[in-house]
Amino acid sequence: AHGVRDDDVTVASVPGSFEIPLVAKKMAESERYDAVICLGAVIRGETGHYEHVAGEAAKGIANVSVSTGVPVIFGVLTTDTLEQAINRAGGKSGNNGYHAGVGAVEMANLIRALDTA
């Protein structure tokens, strides 16, 4: 969709959302990607761990985009339940990953246009 072929996409898996920013930074700095999409889910538990992980992942991902100049799209779901995460990842509440992909294409095109203007 949107002119992106399957072989244009590289998938890198990390053990948790807290680790996303480091891998996103490595990918952005490699100059091989027009955009980086960060997908994941942080599901609220019974401890304060949720707020820490969600907040640090969000800040880290934003910092990667600003520091590298590469669009880095935040597609990490923050939900209270697994059911909510599933619904937002392609279930009843739409597909957050799809929207992140569209945003990545739009931002990559905008940055390219600004760089050549």
Residues designated catalytic: 49
How far apart (Å, rounded) are the C-alpha atoms in residues 75 and 51? 16
- The Cβ of residue 85 has, within 10 Å, a number of other Cβ atoms equal to 19
- The Cβ of residue 89 has, within 10 Å, a number of other Cβ atoms equal to 19
How far apart (Å, rounded) are the C-alpha atoms in residues 70 and 87? 29
How far apart (Å, rounded) are the C-alpha atoms in residues 109 and 113? 6
